[in-house]
């Protein structure tokens, strides 16, 4: 079931078109990644979906019902975690959660119970009575996520949840996202860390200059640029003489005429094929020739390569743009968009 | 029910976080004493506490509400916590009413601090308390909505303070609080009648000393008009400026 459907969504700021007729959908229970460089229209899109920006044109449907122009109804079903904390510095962690629950009309006992439960689940139990301003960045981010789900929303919007926090907290937050997903929460994730998107998201959309340039599952996107299938074998014995490999290569060609074999260092080979293949015949081929196979690894193109190819945008250029924005420190991720 | 829970929680949080803080309570106590003492010390003739009371009450409300609301909303916008409220499933009108209710209540309580002090110094018999209550509530509402108007017009906390004073200090002299409207130069009188506090202070004068100059029903209508206008204009501005 599609939880959100966006049709021809458009946003103009005077003469400038920030979002230019985007279309996408999010299935119930999936993690949907929304990727793009600074100024691509990610935040404006989120703002329109969450009622923080007016829609110039287009439609947004939540669970099949058009909520364009009636954000309040949709907001009750959404949890929103912005890139920067928007909780109250002067309130404690527990008070912040209880207050956020109240904003969604939760009764006192229910919101207090849920706040206590979330603090426990998120490992913030000991800091429950501490004022929010005393929290570390990572703790603040965790509490912001807890505040976003206190009312058990149908869909959770996470805007760069691991940006600016250290590796350990980033890892904890990624685990929390996986846990939320396994509990059935639909997640709309924007991130600058491309490996994070690759690891967490089931479907993705790339937005550039207000337009969605590609949308699909991670596998579908990879397929587009994957010209051949490559498997690396780590062998239990080195090719001590140059002849060893030449001899093996000749025999390989006669056994598997549609495949190519290349040497990778002294004790490894890579098998190349235009189509997918089973590994067992190859493992057996090397075993009988005295080269036991210790490891087989499928070599895939990275999402980063997909992004560069489909958007035509150089990652380095974007990285420097992002670094301007994220100088607050970004210890927790890998490649950034 | 859900709306009421959200409304009351915003109100209670604001009361606890801003209005019931010791500096604000002491402000509420010191402000009217300072003004009363100033008139006692500076006036060459004997001053009647009862004559000062309408002006001091009106000022206590004005100063207690406008900057408090303007500063707290601007502060919350800067820290982005106001965004959290805008993302909640409650209408903008209700949200702004919840945000302003705390300031209105703070203003009403502030208004009665000078009354308590005055009760120790003079005879307060013959006062129309119902009229006082009505005018105090309406002055608090218009002053708070003036604060809201200021809050949506600025982006920095210091601007909120400066802009508040831009409105408040002229009101000290132009609204007939301590200088009767009749004593003002004729070219300034239209300005006086364009300020809501003129009408509020005049009702208080009628209720306490029976010496107001504007018909009471007209003053109430004027205050209601200013309240509706300032609130509607502020909501329009919030929609235009904050929800892009």
Model pLDDT for residues B145-160, shown as the tens digit of each residue = 998 998 888 888 888 8
Binary contact (B89, A85; C-beta < 8 A): no
* Segment 88-127 of chain A within 8 Å of chain B by CB: 88-91, 99-100, 102-107
CB crowding A298-307: b at 16 or more within 10 Å, else e: eebbebbbbb
Binary contact (A53, B244; C-beta < 8 A): yes
Nearest CA-CA distance, residue A215 and chain B, Å: 27
Q: Is the pLDDT of residue A329 over 50?
A: no
Q: Which of A151-165, B1-15, B217-231 has the highest mean pLDDT?
A: B217-231
Nearest CA-CA distance, residue A204 and chain B, Å: 25
- CB-closest option in A47, A104, A107 to B88: A104
pLDDT for position A324? 59
Per-residue pLDDT reduced to its tens digit, A182-198: 988 999 999 878 888 98
Query: Which positions in chain B touch A75 (Cβ < 8 Å)?
Result: 87-89
- CB-closest option in B8, B87, B244 to A50: B87
Domain boundaries, chain A: 2-223, 227-299
Per-residue pLDDT reduced to its tens digit, A49-78: 998 888 999 999 988 888 887 788 889 999
Q: Is the pLDDT of residue B9 over 90?
A: yes
**Bridge partner residues of A212 (DSSP):** A207
Q: Is the pLDDT of residue A318 over 70?
A: no
DSSP letters spanning B130-147: HHHHHHHHHHHHHHHHHH
Please give the residue that has the higher pLDDT: either B42 or A101. Answer: A101
pLDDT band per the 50, 70, 90 thresholds, residue A313? low
Closest Cα in chain A to B4: A105
- CB-closest option in B2, B81, B91 to A105: B2
Query: Which positions in chain B touch A84 (Cβ < 8 Å)?
Result: 80
Q: Could you confirm whether domain A227-299 is CATH 3.30.70.100?
A: yes
Q: Does B91 touch chain A (CB under 8 A)?
A: yes
H or E segment to which residue A159 belongs: strand A155-159
3-state secondary structure of B74: helix
Q: Which is the CATH superfamily of the domain at A2-223?
A: P-loop containing nucleotide triphosphate hydrolases (3.40.50.300)
Across residues A82-108, what is the average pLDDT? 93
Query: Which positions in chain B touch A107 (Cβ < 8 Å)?
Result: 5
Binary contact (A52, B2; C-beta < 8 A): no
Q: Is the pLDDT of residue A136 over 50?
A: yes
pLDDT for position A334? 42
Q: Is the pLDDT of residue A87 over 90?
A: yes
Domain count, chain B: 1
Of the candidates A61, A63, A62, A56, the one whose C-alpha atom is nearest the C-alpha of residue A41 is A56
- CB-closest option in A73, A80, A102 to B87: A80
Across residues A311-324, what is the average pLDDT? 58
Please give the residue that has the higher pLDDT: either B162 or B12. Answer: B12
Query: Which positions in chain A touch B1 (Cβ < 8 Å)?
Result: 105
| Contact yes or no for A236/A281 (Cβ under 8 A) | no
Please provide the distance, in angstroms rounded to a whole number, between the alpha carbons at the two ends of chain B.
30
* Segment 129-158 of chain A within 8 Å of chain B by CB: 147
Per-residue pLDDT reduced to its tens digit, A9-38: 999 998 899 999 999 999 999 999 999 888
* Segment 23-82 of chain B within 8 Å of chain A by CB: 79-81
pLDDT for position B239? 86
Q: Is the pLDDT of residue B218 over 90?
A: yes
pLDDT for position A332? 38
Q: Is the pLDDT of residue B134 over 90?
A: yes
Sheet holding A260-264, edge to edge: A260-264, A268-273, A229-235, A293-299
Query: Which positions in chain B touch A106 (Cβ < 8 Å)?
Result: 5
Q: Is the pLDDT of residue B11 over 90?
A: yes
Binary contact (B81, A86; C-beta < 8 A): yes
Q: Is the pLDDT of residue B224 over 50?
A: yes
Span of A199-208, A259-268, B209-218 with lowest mean pLDDT = A259-268
ipTM entry: 0.86
Binary contact (A87, B81; C-beta < 8 A): yes
Nearest CA-CA distance, residue B1 and chain A, Å: 7
pLDDT band per the 50, 70, 90 thresholds, residue A218? confident
**Sign for the pseudo-dihedral over CA of B205, B208, B210, B211:** negative
User: What letter would DSSP give residue A133?
Assistant: G
Per-residue pLDDT reduced to its tens digit, A230-287: 899 998 888 776 667 888 889 999 999 989 898 887 778 989 888 888 999 999 999 9
Binary contact (A86, B9; C-beta < 8 A): no
Mean pLDDT (chain B, rounded): 89
Of the candidates A211, A89, A100, A249, the one whose C-alpha atom is nearest the C-alpha of residue B5 is A100
Query: Which positions in chain A touch B95 (Cβ < 8 Å)?
Result: none
């Amino acid at each position: 079931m599609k939880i959100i459907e966006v049709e021809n969504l458009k946003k103009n700021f005077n003469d400038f078109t920030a979002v230019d007729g985007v279309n996408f959908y999010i299935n119930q229970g999936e993690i949907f990644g929304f990727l793009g460089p600074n100024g691509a229209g990610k935040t404006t899109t989120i703002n329109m979906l969450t009622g923080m920006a007016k829609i110039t044109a287009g439609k947004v449907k939540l669970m099949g019902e058009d909520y364009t122009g009636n954000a309040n109804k949709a907001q009750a079903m959404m949890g929103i975690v912005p890139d920067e904390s928007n909780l109250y510095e002067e309130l404690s962690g527990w008070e912040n959660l209880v207050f956020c629950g109240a904003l969604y009309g939760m009764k006192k006992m229910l919101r207090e119970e849920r706040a206590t439960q979330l603090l426990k689940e998120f490992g913030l139990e000991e800091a429950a009575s501490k004022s929010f301003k005393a929290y570390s960045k990572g703790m603040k981010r965790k509490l912001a996520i807890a505040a976003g789900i206190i009312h058990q929303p149908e869909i959770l919007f996470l805007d760069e949840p691991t940006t600016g926090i250290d590796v350990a907290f980033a890892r904890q937050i990624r685990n929390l996202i996986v846990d939320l997903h396994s509990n059935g929460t639909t997640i709309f994730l924007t991130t600058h860390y491309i490996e994070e998107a690759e690891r967490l998201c089931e479907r993705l959309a790339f937005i550039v200059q207000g337009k969605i340039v590609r949308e699909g599952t991670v596998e579908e996107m990879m397929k587009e640029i994957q010209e051949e299938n490559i498997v690396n074998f780590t062998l239990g014995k080195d090719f001590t003489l140059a002849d060893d490999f030449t001899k093996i290569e000749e025999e390989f060609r006669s056994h598997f005429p549609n495949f190519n074999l290349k040497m990778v260092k002294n004790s490894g080979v890579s098998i190349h094929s235009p189509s997918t293949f089973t590994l067992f015949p190859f493992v057996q081929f090397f075993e009988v020739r005295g080269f036991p196979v210790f490891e087989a690894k499928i070599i895939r193109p990275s999402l980063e390569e997909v992004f560069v190819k489909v958007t035509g945008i150089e990652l380095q250029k974007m990285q420097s743009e992002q670094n301007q924005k994220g100088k607050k420190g970004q210890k927790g991720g890998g490649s950034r968009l | 029910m859900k709306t009421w829970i959200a409304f009351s929680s915003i109100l209670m949080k604001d009361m606890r976080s801003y209005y019931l803080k010791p500096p604000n309570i002491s402000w509420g106590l010191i402000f009217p004493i300072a003004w009363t003492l100033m008139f006692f010390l500076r006036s060459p003739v004997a001053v009647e506490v009862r004559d000062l009371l309408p002006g001091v009450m009106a000022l206590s409300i004005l100063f207690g509400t406008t900057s408090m609301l303007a500063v707290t909303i601007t502060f919350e916008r800067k820290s982005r916590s106001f965004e959290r409220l805008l993302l909640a499933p409650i209408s903008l009108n209700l949200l702004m009413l919840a945000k302003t209710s705390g300031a209105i209540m703070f203003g009403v309580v502030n208004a009665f601090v000078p009354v308590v002090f005055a009760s120790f110094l003079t005879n307060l018999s013959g006062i129309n308390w119902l009229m006082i209550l009505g005018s105090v509530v309406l002055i608090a509402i218009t002053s708070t909505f003036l604060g809201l108007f200021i809050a949506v017009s600025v982006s920095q906390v210091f601007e909120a303070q400066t802009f508040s004073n831009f409105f408040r200090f002229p009101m000290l002299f132009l609204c007939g609080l301590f200088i009767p409207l009749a004593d003002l130069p004729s070219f300034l009188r239209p300005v006086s009648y364009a300020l809501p506090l003129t009408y509020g202070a005049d009702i208080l004068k009628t209720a306490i000393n029976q010496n107001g100059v504007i018909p009471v029903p007209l003053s109430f209508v004027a205050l209601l008009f200013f309240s509706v206008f300032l609130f509607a204009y502020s909501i329009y501005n919030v929609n235009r400026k904050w929800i892009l």
